[in-house]
Amino acid sequence: MAGSKYAYVRNFELPDPLLPGTFMVFRLDGHSFHRFSDEHKFTKPNDTRALELMDHAAKDLMEQYPDIVLGFGESDEFSFLIRKSASLYNRRQSKIVSTLTSLFTSSYVFRWASYFPDAPLKYPPAFDGRIILYPGIREIRDYFSWRQTDTHINNLYNTVFWALVQQGGESTTQAHATLEGTVSKEKHEILFSRFNVNYNAIDARFRKGSTLVREEISEEPSVPSHENVPARLSVPGSDGPSAIRMRTRTKPRTRIVVLHCDIIKDEFWDARPDILL
């Protein structure tokens, strides 16, 4: 079927393929969440409900996109590693960025009320998204180290800042001034000596961010084994077809788990060599 005389405009849409065989990092960040968190009365420095909602939206994304092998979130942002062999949407950049950003955003809104039952959304939140291509493992490791270091720096600052304001009675202007030019050691010192807080004892979720990985599920151990029963026979009391599927499945089943651990040192990566394949 020949196109209409208008169809030539389609030629102005240029292809935007992402280089094959390279790691893709997809990062999204809440748009103006400084305001959004104020308007929705997030607790400071860290609102756990908001962080858990971010984790849930990230999990939804990973459930729909098996090419995402790792997620890392802090504050209003999440980074995802898409494996380098992915052929997702033929690696069309705007298709991937727009679809993933949109799904994350709609999931965030979809699940809002489960995490904030007493605080209805005042307006629709938005996220920006981008993809960065990295040539090798070194850069991927450094990328995630960069984000987790950022988590640490921001959280240490915010923890002391809000302690000065909420418990120390300082105004936000005063607290900024108090912290001006202080190094990490001095911030730990203020927390400990003035507020009796050992920074290393506060919730790992706040200090380390959220890392989402796929974990193999050991095949349902509570289900009685039918090893000696030929697959074509139906087993009374069991639903035959799914029992057969279970036995013929080739890929192990996985689930997505949320960790709050160090991802800068080798240990995390050594234990999960598949992430960087």
Choice between 125 and 190, CB closer to ligand ATP: 125
Angle ∠(86,89,94) on CA atoms, nearest 5: 110
Among 33, 72, 115, 143, binds ligand ATP (CB under 6 A): 33
Among 62, 76, 188, 199, which residue sits at the site for Mg ion (rule: CB under 5 A)?
Answer: 76
Name the one residue in this structure whose structure tokens are 């005042």: 122
- C-beta contacts of 163-167 below 8 A and 24+ residues apart: 163/190, 163/191, 163/194, 163/195, 163/197, 164/190, 166/44, 167/195
The CB density around residue 135, as the number of other CB atoms within 10 Å, is 12
Span from 46-54, 76-84, 111-119, 167-175 in contact with Mg ion (CB under 5 A): 76-84
Tokens of 111: 């699940």
Would you say 254 and 216 are in contact if contact means Cβ atoms under 8 Å apart?
yes
Q: Can you tell me the distance from the alpha carbon of 98 to that of 204, in angstroms, rounded to the nearest whole number?
A: 32
- Tell me which of 23, 46, 96, 143 binds ligand ATP, using CB under 6 A: 46
CB closer to ligand ATP out of 33 and 112? 33
Total interface residues for Mg ion by CB under 5 A: 6
- Rg of the chain (C-alpha set): 23
242 is in an annotated binding site: no
User: Which residues, in sequence order, are CB contacts of 146 under 8 Å at separation 6+?
Assistant: none
Q: Is 40 annotated as a binding residue?
A: no
Q: Supply 23's token pair.
A: 């790691």
Q: Does residue number 94 form part of the binding site for ligand ATP (CB under 6 A)?
A: no
The torsion angles phi and psi of 78, rounded to 5 degrees, stand at -145, 140
Binding status of residue 29 toward ligand ATP by CB under 6 A? yes
Residue 32, annotated ligand binder?
Answer: yes
Query: Can residue 77 be called a binding residue for Mg ion (CB under 5 A)?
Result: yes
**Residues numbered 23-52 forming contacts with Mg ion, rule: CB under 5 A:** 29-30, 33
Polymer length in residues for the chain: 277
> 3-state class of 156 per DSSP?
helix
Give the nearer residue to ligand ATP in terms of CB position, either 34 or 122. 34
Q: Quick one: which of 5, 10, 34, 251 contacts ligand ATP (CB under 6 A)?
A: 34
Annotated binding-site residue? 76: yes
Which residues contribute to the site for Mg ion (CB under 5 A)?
29-30, 33, 75-77
Residue set of the binding site: 29-34, 75-76
Which residues contribute to the site for ligand ATP (CB under 6 A)?
29-34, 37, 42, 44, 46-47, 50-51, 75-76
